[in-house]
């Protein structure tokens, strides 16, 4: 769908998203030049913000010698699976998954926005776990930096006995049902952290609750990441990944099972708040093929519309696997580093490969919910 259609044109000077348009179907419209004053674009029927310049993208593509590589926006190289393929909004440097100190990241929303901008991100979303408390700060900071952005959150869900994360994008961050649903989802975290602390004490590690609480900027969002930071800083492990491996995953001494939101509830909160639900980093779940099929099927049945294909949690082989799954299930595709911290995260904001251009980016149906300085 739309693999050869440049749906969001970039201003070369400003490197800003300037023309978000709905997917085009008309080749005749593609052949149009840019619009004269007052004319309506036949391609997108005069969407808000459209100046017809997506047509210029098509002309630029036609001039390019076949097989020549065009650097991605921000100077990145095209991913191998995109070589010899046309310009497309898949090449926008969108980063739609990261965490601030409002959940388990270490940077404040303003510092994350600045980092995204400095790294060449052109469309950004802050997606704190089970919390929208940082959204207004993130939006204000992004707008100050002329960085187009979407609202976001990452909701913890229990599916088939496993924790699954569902990202919501482009919703109304003040929607009462969404805000209440997130509050209920994070409500059990304090007790869980105390139970984890008790379990770790049984394994000879004392004071984990109090230790972790010092790292949690938002006490309601105390998480395994904060426990992990405490265990690194107190010298028990050398990095947070080692803490998870040795103590915090199923079967290890500090693991405490927890029941999060249902898949149906999470998707419904996001949809009713006007957003799009995205299966986050599907490659991370330890599902059998049948369980994974059930997750995608039920997610769709509840109204879920997108999947993260290019994420910091996926290998290159998983980019391809979940690109295929996106097509099989007719889902939009998302891209995001899942950045948490300069010290801990392997993938920085804005540094991932592009989405495969055979997919339809999730930012296309969200074009009218992008916040930007006009």
Q: Which two tokens stand for residue 26?
A: 């008309």
Q: Which of 240, 311, 334, 360 binds ligand AMP (CB under 6 A)?
A: 240
Contact between 100 and ligand AMP by CB under 6 A: the answer reads: no
Q: Which of 135, 151, 223, 268 binds ligand AMP (CB under 6 A)?
A: 223
Report what 214 binds from ligand AMP, Mn ion, none; CB cut-off 5-8 Å by kind: none
Enumerate residues 155-174 that contact ligand AMP by CB under 6 A.
Answer: 156
Is 151 among the residues that bind ligand AMP (CB under 6 A)?
A: no
* Interface with ligand AMP, residue 224, by CB under 6 A: yes
For tokens 């609480």, the residue is 213
Contacts of 93 (CB under 8 A, 6+ apart): 72, 73, 74, 76, 120, 121, 122, 123, 350
Both structure tokens of 183: 């509050």
User: To 10 degrees, the CA torsion angle through 34, 38, 42, 44?
Assistant: 90
Core vs surface per residue 38-66: b (16+ CB within 10 A) or e: eeebbbbeeeeebbbbbbbbbeebeeeee
Question: Could you tell me if 17 and 372 are in contact, meaning their C-beta atoms sit under 8 angstroms apart?
Answer: yes
DSSP secondary structure code for residue 53 in this structure: T
* Binds ligand AMP (CB under 6 A): choice among 198, 214, 241, 259: 241
C-alpha closest to that of 279 among 308, 243, 240: 308
Examine residue 271 and tell whether it contacts ligand AMP (CB under 6 A).
Answer: no
Count residues near ligand AMP (CB under 6 A).
10
**Can you name the residues that pair with 10 across neighbouring β-strands?**
17
Minimum CB–partner distance for residue 370 and ligand AMP (Å)? 25
Q: Taking contact as CB under 5 A, which single stretch among the options 150-158, 189-197, 204-212, 353-361 is the one that binds Mn ion?
A: 150-158
- Here's the x/- map for ligand AMP, 27-66, by CB under 6 A: it reads as ----------------------------------------
Q: Does 104 bind Mn ion (CB under 5 A)?
A: yes
Separation between Cα atoms, residue 167 and residue 345, nearest integer Å = 19
Q: Is 345 in the site for ligand AMP (CB under 6 A)?
A: no
Three-state DSSP at 349 gives coil
Structure tokens at 225: 């990441």
* The token pair that represents 254 in the structure block: 């500090």
- The residue from 55, 86, 225, 360 that contacts ligand AMP (CB under 6 A) is 225
Binds ligand AMP by CB under 6 A, chosen from 95, 104, 122, 364: 104
Asked if 197 is part of the footprint of ligand AMP (rule: CB under 6 A), the reply reads no
What residue ranges bind Mn ion (CB under 5 A)? 104, 154, 165, 280, 338
What residue ranges bind ligand AMP (CB under 6 A)? 104, 129, 156, 223-225, 240-241, 244, 340
């Amino acid at each position: 769908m739309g693999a050869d259609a440049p749906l969001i044109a970039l201003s070369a000077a400003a490197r800003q998203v300037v023309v978000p348009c709905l997917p085009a179907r008309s080749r005749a419209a593609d052949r149009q030049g840019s619009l004269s004053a007052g004319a309506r674009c036949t391609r997108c029927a005069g969407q808000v913000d459209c100046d017809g310049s997506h047509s210029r993208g098509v002309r630029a593509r036609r001039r390019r010698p076949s097989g020549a590589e065009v650097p991605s926006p921000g100077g990145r190289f095209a991913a191998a699976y995109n070589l010899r393929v046309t310009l497309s909004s898949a090449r926008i440097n969108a980063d739609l998954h990261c965490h601030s100190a409002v959940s388990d990241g270490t940077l404040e929303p303003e510092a994350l926005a600045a980092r995204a901008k400095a790294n060449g991100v052109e469309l950004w979303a802050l997606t704190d776990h089970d919390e929208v408390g940082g959204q207004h700060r993130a939006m204000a900071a992004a707008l100050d930096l002329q960085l187009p952005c979407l609202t976001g959150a990452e909701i913890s869900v229990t599916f088939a006995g496993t924790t699954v994360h569902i990202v919501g994008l482009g919703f109304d961050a003040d929607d009462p049902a969404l805000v209440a649903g997130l509050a209920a989802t994070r409500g059990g975290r304090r007790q869980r952290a105390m139970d984890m602390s008790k379990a770790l004490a049984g394994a000879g590690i004392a004071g984990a609750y109090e230790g972790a609480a010092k790292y949690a900027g938002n006490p309601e969002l105390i998480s395994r990441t904060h426990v992990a930071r405490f265990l690194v800083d107190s010298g028990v492990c050398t990095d947070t990944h080692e803490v998870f491996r040795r103590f915090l995953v199923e079967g290890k001494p500090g693991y405490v099972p927890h029941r999060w939101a249902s898949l149906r509830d999470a998707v419904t909160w996001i949809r009713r708040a006007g957003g799009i639900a995205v299966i986050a980093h599907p490659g991370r779940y330890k599902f059998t093929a049948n369980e994974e099929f059930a997750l995608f099927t039920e997610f769709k049945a509840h109204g879920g519309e997108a999947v993260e294909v290019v994420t910091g949690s996926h290998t290159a082989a998983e980019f391809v696997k979940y690109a295929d799954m996106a097509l099989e299930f007719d889902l939009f595709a998302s891209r995001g580093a899942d950045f948490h911290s300069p010290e801990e995260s392997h993938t920085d904001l804005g540094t991932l490969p592009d989405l495969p251009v055979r997919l339809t980016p999730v930012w296309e149906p969200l074009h009218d919910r992008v916040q930007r300085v006009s």
